[in-house]
Amino acid sequence: MTRSDERPDGIYASTCWECSTRCGSLVTLESGHVANVGPNPDHPGSKGAFCVKGIRALPELTYSKTRIKSPMRRVGERGSGNWEEISWDEALDEIAERLLEVRAEHGPESLVGAVSSAFFSRGAMVALLMRSLGSPNWMMNQDLCGGCRALSDRIMGLGIVGGEDVDNTKCALIVGRNPSAADPVQWMALKRAKANGAKIIVIDPARTPAAEIADIWMRPRPGTDVALGLSLINVIIEENLYDHDFVGEWTRGFEELKTRAAEFPPARAAELTGIAADDIVTVARMYADGPSSFVSGHGIDAFSNGVQTFRAFHCLVAITGNVDRPGGNLRVKRPRGFRNYIDILHDPEFSLPQEIAKRTLGADQFPLWAGPKGWQTSAHNPTVLDAILTGNPHPVRAMYVSGVNIAVTYPDTNKVMAALKSLDFLVVASHMMTPTSEIADIVLPKTTGLEEEEVSLEPSAQIVCYTNPVIAPQNEARSDFDFTTDLARRLEARGINTRKFFPWETKQEFNEYLLGDEIDWKILRKNGWAPFDFKLGNFEEAGFKTPSGKIELWSETLDGLGIDPLPNYVSPRAESVDPTTRQEYPFVLITGAREKTYHHSRYRDQAWARKVSPFPLLQVHPETATASGLAEGDWVAVETPGVDGRCKLKVSITEETGPGTVRTGMGWWLPEAPGPERGALDVNVNVALSYDGPWDPVTGSADTRGLPCRLTLVPDAEIPMRESA
């Protein structure tokens, strides 16, 4: 079948959108079919780096026989797996009717959205849909991802997230980041920097490939990094190695920070972190002799002291003047007139009245997260889940989910499943059936990154990237922009004023609105990226968005909320539980180690990926294995205190993890297992984690690592999966 929007054969420059690395790609079209996806060596951001997910998983997903072909309506019991295909008209009319029914019965705030974040157009679409229905409530997964670093950065006024200038650095300080698995662009840049003589320092409880190439690798006890960050500051101030001019001109609160850091001399930090005091001094000197780039990751984010941990390292970047200078951490720039999705969410034109916005679930407790001026204005997820299950502070009865697999990727899977199952109405947009879509009432088929146009800023290269829709959507798939706008029009026909929130007619019009007036569409489309003018170190002009207009080492914003205005140390969960619990749960658990073959919960249905990585593994140090009588290939159940669920994982004995610390990935489920859970209560580590706090006081993030845990051998009959013949 030919479609009117089919493109001529050829090679198209695009951007891979399977993950936020956004590698420049070249897509080869033969007979209207994507024959190849590969790196674009001329791309100034990725410089030819690429990964197997872009090459293999994306085309396989796009052409998969098991991809959701058309909108579907549940038939029979929720979760029974029986569906009927329906038309888009039927699906969207039914969604409009059902959302309005719930709204009429329980009020606008009983509707909630769920999406990964406002980094993709789908995030803005979900949030705007909720707003047009009068609900301020939408959930994102950033409390579990980059929320702590983003808020530390925002509170301090830095604006450097994503701007690591590794290529020009003399010293890369890599903290809680595993670039070889998570980010091939950064990994290649680090190897180039190393070859050019840059020093590499790695802070990670695991001996990652980055640790293997490091000049110094330090293994802290999980969750203790803030003590290390403050101690590095202490040494740098004591030895007078900080940047006096930068501190004097652009920062506020240096004396207060100095006093706080003085509480963390290397000897004390050594005790708290398990790192040798001498190493701390060596690293401080190495880092101070910059330009140095702080390369951070998820390993120090998404936990109950994530913001203060990042604040310590962000203060380190600031006092050494590594802000917006070559080889340091660059501030994010943008072309003239460019708007990102987060700008849209804060634009008064697209906002709900303050008194409604203030009622976002969780805004009272976490105003910098969920309040009207919060980072992305999204709700606090655990508060939403509680509202669904208890009706407090008000009922939440319908959910619109797009581009997130919350039944696998949120902690406490049993609770998430119970909440989803209890809803009056659940819509899920996805490519494949997942444990989340299995319990939906309506499922919508979503376009992939080969079928949908996206534009975005790439902060580390200071360019705008373009994802080229090289093929027409397969079957009935549509983009979030398309079907959400279509739904908004149907709500409008039913008397809801959605125009304010959805003024654009086409995705292209929307993208042009985002781009502003500096970027040339033609160049962007032809090359897959476009440059723009920017200046480094333009602090006078760009300013720092804080109460004082300076980088706030001591934060007025936090002080005003009764939160410690200086980075502070809090014992990680595994070390703060009472002695009896510690005895019962003697190991420390790290979750989230990335695998090259998977993107979170994606591609678990792709045979090549399962062949490369067939099992959910638990890394156990040889000493720990011997002491606990565990052998390679044993299956163990992992449990953490106060949670019902247990996750089964296969033991991999390795020195990659340290003694007593066990480390696993995330995102496992089994498309071939019985529904609706499809293994999400069996092999998914989130079944063994709590989402109920303690929470980071700023972001509301729960702990996904540094947790006390215990291991029990799984009897043979209960092993969830076997080596396939």
Ligand X SMILES: Nc1nc2c(c(=O)[nH]1)N[C@H]1C(S)=C(S)[C@@H](COP(=O)(O)OP(=O)(O)OC[C@H]3O[C@@H](n4cnc5c(=O)[nH]c(N)nc54)[C@H](O)[C@@H]3O)O[C@H]1N2
Question: For tokens 């399977």, what's the residue?
Answer: 18
Query: What binding mask, one character per residue, do residues 639-678 give for ligand X by CB under 6 A, x or -?
Result: ------------------------x--xx-----------
Identify how many contiguous H helices and E strands the chain contains and give both numbers.
Answer: 29, 25
Element of type H or E holding 480? helix 480-493
Q: Please report, as residue ranges, which positions from 279 to 318 form the binding site for ligand X (by CB under 6 A).
A: 297-300
Name 540's Cβ contacts closer than 8 Å, sequence gap at least 6.
none
Stretch of 14-22, 75-83, 191-199, 322-330 contacting ligand SF4, by CB under 6 A: 14-22
Rounded to 10 degrees, the C-alpha dihedral 463/467/468/472 comes to -170
What, of ligand X, ligand SF4, Mo ion, none, does residue 596 touch, CB below 5 to 8 Å by kind? Answer: ligand X
Query: Which residue in the block uniquely carries the two structure tokens 């409880």?
Result: 205
CA 208 to chain centre: 20
Residue 434 binding partner per list Mo ion, ligand SF4, ligand X, none, with a CB distance cut-off of 5 to 8 Å that depends on partner kind: ligand X
In the complex, what is the shortest distance from the CB of residue 23 to ligand SF4, in angstroms, rounded to a whole number?
3
Report which residue's Cβ sits closest to Mo ion. 145
275 binds ligand X (CB under 6 A): no
Q: Give the DSSP H or E segment for 561.
A: none
| Residue at shortest CB range from ligand SF4 | 54
**Other CB atoms within 10 Å distance of the CB of residue 89:** 11
- Per rule CB under 6 A, count of chain residues that contact ligand SF4: 11
- Name the CA dihedral angle for 236, 241, 246, 249, rounded to a multiple of 10 degrees: 80
Nearest approach, Cβ of residue 621 and ligand X (Å): 13
184 binds, among ligand SF4, ligand X, Mo ion, none (CB under 5 to 8 A by kind): ligand SF4
Would you count residue 465 as binding ligand SF4 (CB under 6 A)? no
Selected from 14, 21, 304, 448, the binder of ligand SF4 by CB under 6 A is: 21
CB closer to ligand SF4, 53 vs 604: 53
Q: How far apart are alpha carbons 247 and 552 in whole angstroms?
A: 10
Within 180-199, the residues that bind ligand X by CB under 6 A are 181-183
In the list ligand SF4, Mo ion, ligand X, none, the entry touching 415 (Cβ below 5 to 8 angstroms by class) is none
How many CB atoms within 10 Å of residue 434?
A: 29
| Residue 184 binds to ligand SF4 (criterion: CB under 6 A) | yes
The C-alpha atoms of residue 206 and residue 662 are separated, in whole angstroms, by: 10
19 near ligand SF4, rule: CB under 6 A: yes
Query: Is residue 624 a contact point for ligand X (CB under 6 A)?
Result: no
CB of 316 to ligand X, least distance (A): 14
Taking CB under 6 A as the binding criterion, the range among 316-324, 504-512, 592-600, 611-619 that sits at the site for ligand X is 592-600
**Residue among 480, 364, 501, 594 at smallest CA distance from 116:** 480
| Residue indicated by tokens 């407790």 | 365
Segment contacting ligand SF4 by CB under 6 A, of 51-59, 119-127, 338-346, 499-507: 51-59
Q: Yes or no: say if 655 and 625 are a contact pair by the CB < 8 Å rule.
A: no
- Rule CB under 6 A: choose which of 258, 325, 394, 599 binds ligand X: 599
Residue 22: contacted member of Mo ion, ligand SF4, ligand X, none (CB under 5 to 8 Å, by partner type): ligand SF4
Polymer length in residues for the chain? 725
Binding ligand SF4 (rule: CB under 6 A), the pick from 45, 54, 147, 565 is: 54
| By the rule CB under 6 A, 687 interacts with ligand X | no
| Pair of tokens at residue 677 | 């859970």
Which of positions 449-488 make contact with ligand X (CB under 6 A)?
Answer: 480
β-pair partners for 16: none
Tokens 């690798």 sit on residue: 217
User: According to CB under 6 A, which one of 345, 588, 590, 651 is a site residue for ligand X?
Assistant: 590
Q: Token pair 């034109």 is at which residue?
A: 349
Choose between 306 and 328: whose C-beta lies nearer to ligand X.
306
Q: What are phi and psi of 149, to 5 degrees?
A: -70, -35
Spell out, one character per residue from 145 to 164, where the chain touches ligand X: x when CB under 6 A holds, - when not.
xx------------------
Name the CA radius of gyration of the chain, rounded.
Answer: 25
- 443 in Cβ contact with 88 (< 8 Å): no
Q: How many residues bind ligand X (CB under 6 A)?
A: 62
Q: How far apart are CA 368 and CA 365, in angstroms?
A: 9
Amino acid present at 53: K
Among 314, 478, 507, 705, which residue sits at the site for ligand X (rule: CB under 6 A)?
A: 705
Query: How is 57-125 classified by DSSP, letter by letter?
Result: IHHHHHT-TTS--S-EEE-SSTTS--EEE--HHHHHHHHHHHHHHHHHHH-GGGEEEE-S-TTSHHHHH
In this structure, the number of other CB atoms found within 10 A of the CB of residue 627 comes to: 12
- Beta strands 24-30 and 33-39 are antiparallel
Q: Is the Cβ of residue 149 or residue 602 nearer to ligand SF4 in the bound state?
A: 602
State the binding partner of 23 from ligand X, ligand SF4, Mo ion, none, CB within 5 to 8 A by kind: ligand SF4
Dihedral (CA of 149, 152, 153, 154) sign: positive
CB atoms under 10 Å from CB of 31, counted, come to 6
Binding mask 31-50 for ligand SF4 (x = CB under 6 A): -------------------x
Select 407 or 721, whichever has its Cβ closest to ligand X.
407
- Count of C-beta atoms within a 10 Å radius of residue 655: 12
Residue nearer to ligand SF4 on the CB measure, 54 or 335 = 54
Judged by CB under 6 A, which stretch of 80-88, 515-523, 593-601, 643-651 contacts ligand X? 593-601
Identify the residue among 45, 159, 220, 291 touching ligand X (CB under 6 A). Answer: 220
Strands 425-430 and 442-445: parallel
User: Which pair of tokens denotes residue 104?
Assistant: 């009429």
22: contact with ligand SF4 by CB under 6 A: yes
For ligand SF4, the closer CB: 13 or 317:
13
19 is a site residue for ligand X (CB under 6 A):
yes
- Take residue 498 and report the two structure tokens written for it: 């959605």
In the list 27, 29, 45, 53, the residue contacting ligand SF4 (rule: CB under 6 A) is 53
Q: Is the Cβ–Cβ distance between 184 and 23 less than 8 Å?
A: yes
DSSP reduced 3-state for 157? coil
Alpha-carbon distances of 4 from 7, 8, 68, rounded to whole Å: 9, 11, 22
Residue 172: which H helix or E strand, with range? strand 171-175
Residue among 109 and 454 whose Cβ is closer to ligand SF4:
454
Both tokens assigned to 594: 């990335």
* From candidates 314, 333, 602, 650, binder to ligand X by CB under 6 A: 602
Least spacing, CB of residue 59 vs Mo ion, in Å? 23
Q: For residues 466 and 455, is the Cβ–Cβ distance under 8 A?
A: yes
From 220-228, 417-425, 507-515, 550-558, span contacting ligand X (CB under 6 A): 220-228
Residue carrying the six token digits 């700008």: 343
| 261 close to 280: Cβ distance less than 8 angstroms | no
Which residues 405-434 are close enough to bind ligand X by CB under 6 A? 405, 409, 411, 429-432, 434
Dihedral Cα 152, 157, 163, 169, nearest 10 deg: -100
Q: Which is nearer to Mo ion, 24 or 667 (CB)?
A: 667
Which listed option, ligand X, Mo ion, ligand SF4, none, makes contact with residue 453 (CB within 5 to 8 Å by class)? none
Task: Choose which of 116, 132, 468, 606 interacts with ligand X (CB under 6 A).
Answer: 116
Binding site for Mo ion (CB under 5 A): 145
Q: How near is the Cβ of 425 to Mo ion at its closest, in Å?
A: 28
CB of 461 vs ligand SF4, minimal distance in Å:
13
Binding site for ligand X (CB under 6 A): 19, 116, 120, 122, 141, 144-146, 175-178, 181-183, 203-206, 208, 220, 222-223, 225, 297-300, 402-405, 409, 411, 429-432, 434, 446, 480, 590-596, 598-602, 663, 666-667, 685-686, 689, 704-706
Binding site for ligand SF4 (CB under 6 A): 16, 18-19, 21-23, 50-51, 53-54, 184
